Structures are given as structure tokens and as C-alpha cells.
Structure 1
Amino acid sequence: MSPAHQGARLRHQGRGGRRSRLRAVRNLVAQLKDSLGAVNLDQYSNRAAFDAHDQGTMREIVEQLGHAPEMLAVAVSTTGTVGGCLQHIREHGYDTKVVAVDAAGSVLFGGARGERILPGYGAGVVTELSKEVAPDRVVQVEAADAVHAARSLARSTGFAPGASGGAVAWAVSQLLEEGAAEEVVAVFHDDGRAYLDTVYNDEWADAQIGDAK
């Protein structure tokens, strides 16, 4: 079977959810490893993500600020970003408190499984990377709050975040409101252009969350 047909079969098998997709990927890699040198980078377990965000994201934040921030808010799914930032913070002895912004319904960090209508943050399984990550705090964000915060940020600043960015924006507003920190650095992973048919679509928002504010 050609690689193109293998890919088509993979897409078909992947419709059953993340577990079936990973199983299909493992089978495909095993079949093509010798002939094509196939590998699976697997963002859910590849620890290279920690090093990338340790030496990249968090190092740059500290350099740009001129100091380690008081608090850092990061959306989580694979947990590569938050894990790398935590790695950098702890290796350098910074006092930065790290807040993992998760989705309501996500099972990460002991969360209870529930329906999730937005992609981009949260997870339906405990990822391998997340087993090595211990944020100082976890804030779970409902889909409606993420949508409202994303749209509000777009209206007030011209910056349109995606779903996880909306969740981060909502979490930061709550942290500041409760006085959790005077300085909060937020990491926005996504771009709202990928969510024009969902987060920024009034009909979708009305149907999914009952309010397209």
C-alpha cells in the first residue's frame, strides 16, 4: 500500500478519537519505519518540548522583562509549554508562580471528565508529559467564558486570540481581580483566524453557549 493510501487509512481510523489515532500512528510507523524511516514526534510524550520552552519561551520572557515575572499563566493540553517554563523557573530558582489554564471537562491534573466543545486546551487523557508537570495552580475555564473573553479582547485591543487564548485571558482577569499577583505574564498559543467559524461566529456561539456577546 502506498504512503498516500496509508495516510488516507490513518485519517479514516482517526475518527474514533485520540486513542484510535495514536494506535493508527503506531501501526503506520511500524510499517513504514524500515522503508521510509518513519518516526512519530508525538507531542504528547516528546520531552523535547520541555527543552524548547525552557531555552526558548521562558528564557525569552525573562530576558525581555529583565526579571522573572511574579506569575505566569499558560494554557495546557499536551503540557509541553507549561512544563518547559516550569523547568526553566525551577532550574534558575525563580519565585514565579505558574498557573495552568485548563478546560472544564479536561482530565489533566486531576480534573473530572466532561464535555469539551472547544479545541486547543484541555485533554481527554492524562498525557505522558503532564505526569512530570506540577503547576502551582490550575484554573479550569468553561467554554462560554473562554469565548466571551476572546471576543472581548478582540474588541478592546484588536488582538483576536483563539480558544485557548480566550481561556488564558479569562483566567488572567480572575487572577488580577482576586489580587493573586500584581504582575501576570500570559502566554497566548493560538490565533483567532483559525476560529472565525466558531469562537467569532455569532450563530455558532448562540448554538453552543447560548450567548454570542
Structure 2
Amino acid sequence: MDIKNNILETIGNTPLIRLNKITKDLPGTILAKVDYFNPGNSIKDRMALKMVEVAEKEGKIKPGGTIIECTSGNTGMGLALAAVVKGYKCIFTTTDKQSKEKMDILKAVGAEVIVCPTNVEPDDPRSYYSVAQRLAREIPNSYHFNQYDNLANRLAHYETTGPEIWRQTDGKITHLVCTAGTGGTVTGTAQFLKEQNPDIQVWAIDVYGSLLTKFFRTGVVDMNEVHPYISEGFGEDFVPKNYDMSVIDHFEQVTDKDGAVMARRLAKEEGLFCGYSAGSCIQGLVQLKDRLKPDDMVVCIFHDHGSRYVGKIYNDQWMLERGFLDVKSFRDIVNGRGSRQKLITLSPEQTVSDAVALMRKYDIEHIPVMRGEEILGSISEGGLFQKVFSDPDIKHAKLEKVLEPAFPVADFMTPVEKLSTLINKENGAVLSKDEAGNYHIVTKYDVIQAMGK
């Protein structure tokens, strides 16, 4: 029988999967080490367990103690799993840029989560680093694991991730590509692989707004490099002690947008529902494709699962609001609003007063007038203003007496540029039916906003 004694025994031995579509134009064989197959759905399970084991061995945490850590979510999940099995309590500090899903998952496995501001210096008492340190001082029998400077982090990857990749590629790996955050994964894995073959190239992928790339190139910690970024799980505003820059050959930066868009492509084109760092990892590799040769074997680390990001990079509205998706059609504009709300309409028997009340309630300027599915005309704020100004008593009139021309109806996939030609001075909106047969409206302001992205 093959029976695991507890969930921790399922950590590691994750699959190496060939990429076929996204990388079809890249030289060599491109493989993904897909670590969302770990029980906590991320590569951080490896180092979390190792940090706990080392802390126990060194007497830094005792039975019934409290695990304290600052985490973007994934390390916390790994520590929480260890805590469940081993009987510890958990308190995690995280930043307000992390996805709600990550926080909810940590709470689901019994952890307490404290959210701290992102845009403060690491030594600011409000930062998630400082809050974790303070809690560790105040709470008896607690230990701050500090994944950034805890060398058990990189040791976990030296002992597991590196050997697995070497074995799975039969020692033929030529390149390791990995996003750089705490430094544990890229450094520990690289240390093992370089011991086997010093010619293996290690490429670390960073994000604009992180200081790691400049530090790698110059040895200077330049805080002028640091600015807010949206990418999660990698990039830093300081240099963690887990780094050994001597085993890294190159740092490459990618944008928030490119990493997010590539993550969505991985899901749609490869069936790999991964997190932000996986998209950024592949984007970085694509930017470096001219350095590859046909006989190269590249292993890319895919850290975590896309379920952590369903409210962000896999949410059309979130992507559109940040300009990460190209707005191309009527449908894109509607999707950018989030949930497809029911179209506000009026019937011809209603009065001008009814129309004014609806416009005020929903802060809208254009309302179609319909009887069932039949479009009879429209009412606009500008048109009503002119009528009410000339005849104050008209507010009691039925709408059928003051109808303006009906809004044109376009296909749901009509390009934004075409919509702009359908809207004019006399006609401030366009209607369309979605896939379910429900009407939606796009106004001139929607088109202006979309074309400005």
C-alpha cells in the first residue's frame, strides 16, 4: 500500500511539463516545473516545512508555540499546513496589494491574518516586516520565521527542487529560469544545479519597481529604483540574505502588464492555471529568446496556482481597469464593468418625471424606451432638459409624447472604432445583445474612456 501519514508527506516531486504553444517560436525545449501540485498549491510548501523542521531542531519553537511570518500568502499556506499537523498556532502579516483569495485561504486553514500597507519602507513600524518582528517580541513561545533571511529557505530547494530537476531532465538542463523574490528558490536550486554542471545558466526574473536587478548588476542598494508595482510574489525593496548572486547569471525585468497577460495565455494555450510569477517567468524568457540555441533545455519554475488570483489577473474588469487588456469591442467595454447588470429601461406609459428620477438614481444620461423586447425610442438628459426648460408642465407627460430616436443596435463584437461612428450629436448611445440575449448599452463616454486606454 502507498499511504501518506499526513499532508506534509505529499510535498515535492512535482511534475516537469513541456510547453508547446506559447514557446513554439523559441529555440530549444522549454519545460515547466509546475509546483502548484504541492498540497498548498505552491512551491513555498517546500521551504515552509524545512523552516519549521530546522526551527524545531534548533529549539526555536516548542510544542504549542506560535508561528509568525510576513508573507504574500503562499509561504503562509505552507506554514499553516505544517502548523495543522504539528499543533502550532499561526499569525501572518501581509500587504494590502495581495489578493483577497490568498488571505481567505490562510484564514481557512486556521491562521490569523494582519493586513499592512504596501507603500511604506521596510523599517517603517507599519510595514508587514516590522509588524511581524514586533509580534514575535510580544507573544510568548513564538518565532518569526523570516523567510527572507532564513537560510533554511534556500536549503529546501538545494535539497529537493534542484535534485528533482536534475533527475527529471537526466542532467540535460541548460537553463533555469525563475522569478526572484526572497531568493530561496532561485538560489537554492541554482546552487545544486551549478554543482552538477557549472555551465548551467540561471536567469532570475524581476519586476520593474524592484531593486534586485540593479543590485545584481552594480552591487548598490538603490532605493530610487523602488516604486509600487502590482506583480505578486516576487521583486523586493531590499536584498534578502537568501541571495547568493554568484550562482545567478542574469537578471531580467518584466512589466506588471506583460506578466499578467502571459499568465492568462498559459491558462488558455497550455492548460496551466498558474499565478502571476509563472506568467512573468515565461515573459522574461521570451524577452531573452535570442540567447537560446536549438539544443538547449530550459526549465521554468511555475510557483503557484491561479486560484490565488481569480479576483485579479483572471478578472476582466480588474485587467481592464489597469489597462492590461486591450479594449477592442462592445463586449470588452461591458466586461470591464464587472457583473453584467440588467439594462435600465423605461416604458412609453411612464412619465418624464419617472425618467428624471431614474437618471438621478443611477447617474445615467441615456435610457432606451421599450415595450417588452421592442425598442420604441430613447430618452436623454440633454433632450429632456430642452423640453422641460421650454414647458415646465411636460414633466407629467407620458414618454410616448417626447420620444427621441431609438439608439442603434450593434453586434456584441462590434469594434470600438466602429462604435464611435455610430454615436453622434443626436444619438448618444448604442445598444447590443450579449450571448444570452440580454441588452446592454454603451455611451459616448464609455467609448472615449475605452479608446483612451
Asked if TM exceeds 0.5, the reply is yes
Q: Check whether the contact 2:172–2:297 (CA below 8 A) recurs between aligned residues.
A: no
Matched residue, 1:115: 228
- Are residues 97 and 26 of structure 1, via their aligned partners in 2, closer, same or farther at CA, if it must alter by over 3 Å? same
Whether the 8 Å contact between 2:213 and 2:253 is mirrored in structure 1 is no
Paired with 2:242 and 2:205, the residues of 1 have a C-alpha distance of: 16
Aligned to 1:184: 298
Q: If each structure's strand is expressed as a fraction of its own residues, which one has the higher value?
A: 2
Q: Distance in 1 between matches of 2:130 and 2:194?
A: 35
Which has a greater percent of helix?
1
Q: Deviations over 1:60-111 (max 9, x none)?
A: 0001111141111001110100110121123334321000011111111326
What is the deviation of 1:175? 2.8
**2:245 — aligned with what?**
133
Q: Which secondary structure state, in structure 1, belongs to the residue aligned with residue 280 of structure 2? A: helix
Instruction: Pick the aligned partner of 1:41 from 126, 130, 145.
Output: 145
Of 244, 250, 263 in structure 2, the residue corresponding to residue 150 of structure 1 is 263
Structure 1 gap segments, 5+ residues each: none
**What CA deviation, in whole Å up to 9, does each residue of 1:5-44 have, x standing for no partner?**
x9899826x3365542222222221222xx4x21111111
Verify: 1:161 aligned to 2:274, yes or no: yes
Give me the whole-angstrom Cα distance separating, in 2, the residues matched to 1:99 and 1:25: 31
Moved over 6 A (4+): 6-10
> Which residue is 1:86 aligned to?
190
Q: Is the 8 A contact 1:101 1:141 kept in 2?
A: yes
Q: Which amino acid aligns with 2:117?
A: R
Cα offsets for 1:98-130 (capped at 9, x unmatched): 000111111113262233012112112222223
Higher radius of gyration, 1 or 2: 2
- Give the number of equivalent residue pairs: 204
Q: Secondary structure at the match of 2:260?
A: helix
Residue 27 of structure 1 aligns with an amino acid whose one-letter code is: R
Mapped partners of 2:145, 2:323: distance in 1: 35
The one of 219, 237, 245 aligned to 1:124: 237
Bigger drift between 23-32 and 40-49 goes to 23-32
Larger relative contact order (Cα-Cα within 8 Å, sequence gap ≥ 6): 1
Q: What SS does the aligned partner of 1:186 have?
A: strand
SS in 2 for 1:42: coil
How far apart, CA to CA, are the structure 1 residues paired with 2:131 and 2:227?
25
Q: Share of identical aligned residues, percent? A: 27
Asked if the contact 1:165–1:190 (Cα under 8 Å) also holds between the matched residues in 2, the reply is yes
- CA distance in 1: counterparts of 2:202 and 2:308, whole angstroms: 27
